[in-house]
Amino acid sequence: MFLPHLLPLLVLLFSTCSPVRATALTTAISANERLCFYADVDKAGEKIGFYFAVQSGGSFDIDFEVKDPNDKVLLDGERERQGDYVLTANHVGEYSFCFENDMSTLTEKLVDFDIMVESEPRREAPAKPGQVADQTSALEESIFRLNGQLMSIKRTQKSFHTRENRGFSIVKSTSNRIFWYAVAESLGVIGMAVFQVYVLQTFFTKTGRRYKV
């Protein structure tokens, strides 16, 4: 049976995977609104991944700010369309991630964001020395390479998702403009026709005879 040989490899696989606490959300931010989200860091040295992308609204831009537990600004930006950052948490406590839609007076923004707190991976094998000695290094290298490839695929998926949402928003906005332009044009044609009928009627009425040439 292959089970005795696979079991140490599976244990090693799960031991090298780092614990991750992630929050992926999509939120609507009204005009002149400031909205903050928070993530807890249990120990210094943990990695914080922060990704956001404006899906719809205005010029697809937003102001953002990231602060540590001591209210020190770690990241900030104005009129950013999207961002993907990795920070090292030097202090234990609550980190804040704020979005601000001050540049818009009427437009609501839809923001997709992801906050991930990740501990450094453990490289020690829990198996006994010599049990999987020949395969440990190769397996660890394969795991970290696969992890990097998966993260690359995840970022690509997010990029395509953002492009799709922005394209849909642009098409929807253009469609609405065309519809209201057609309505205004139709009302203008109807109004002009009514006005022409009224003018023609004045030429053939008693009160309108003075307009004849």
Q: For the chain, give the secondary structure using H, E and C.
A: CCHHHHHHHHHHHHHHCCCEEEEEEEEEECCCCEEEEEEEECCCCCEEEEEEEEEECCCCCEEEEEECCCCCEEEEEEEECEEEEEEECCCCEEEEEEEECCCCCCCCEEEEEEEEEECCCCCCCCCCCCCCHHHHHHHHHHHHHHHHHHHHHHHHHHHHHHHHHHHHHHHHHHHHHHHHHHHHHHHHHHHHHHHHHHHHHHHCCHHHHHHCC
Please, are residues 97 and 38 in contact by the beta-carbon 8 Å criterion?
A: yes
* Top-confidence residue, 23 or 164: 164
Number of domains the chain contains: 2
- Kindly state whether residue 136 falls inside one of the protein's structural domains: no
Q: What is the CATH number of the domain that holds 75?
A: 2.60.120.680
Helix axes 133-203, 3-16, angle to 10 degrees: 60
Which region among 108-112, 128-132, 161-165 has the lowest average model confidence (pLDDT)?
128-132
Predicted local confidence at residue 76, as pLDDT: 92
113 and 162 in a single domain? The answer is: no
Residues 118-159 pLDDT 10s: 865 545 545 555 555 555 677 777 777 787 778 778 777 777
- Kindly state whether residue 96 falls inside one of the protein's structural domains: yes
Is residue 161 predicted with pLDDT exceeding 80? no
Please, are residues 111 and 37 in contact by the beta-carbon 8 Å criterion?
A: no
Domain of residue 73, residue span:
24-118
Residue where one domain finishes, among candidates 103, 118, 133: 118
Is residue 20 predicted with pLDDT exceeding 70? no
Please, are residues 62 and 109 in contact by the beta-carbon 8 Å criterion?
A: yes
User: Model's pTM, two decimal places?
Assistant: 0.60
Residues 75-85 pLDDT 10s: 999 999 888 89
Is residue 3 predicted with pLDDT exceeding 50? no
Q: Residue for token digits 């079991």?
A: 7
Predicted local confidence at residue 210, as pLDDT: 52
44 and 92 in a single domain? The answer is: yes
* Top-confidence residue, 156 or 5: 156
Residue 74: CB partners within 8 Å, gap ≥ 6? 66, 67, 68, 87, 95
- Kindly state whether residue 156 falls inside one of the protein's structural domains: yes
Predicted local confidence at residue 136, as pLDDT: 63
Predicted local confidence at residue 139, as pLDDT: 77
The amino acid at residue 139 is: L
- Kindly state whether residue 211 falls inside one of the protein's structural domains: no
Mean pLDDT, residues 7-36 taken together = 65
34 and 100 in a single domain? The answer is: yes
Residue where one domain finishes, among candidates 118, 136, 164: 118
Predicted local confidence at residue 211, as pLDDT: 47
**Residue 157 and residue 34: Cα distance in Å, rounded?**
28
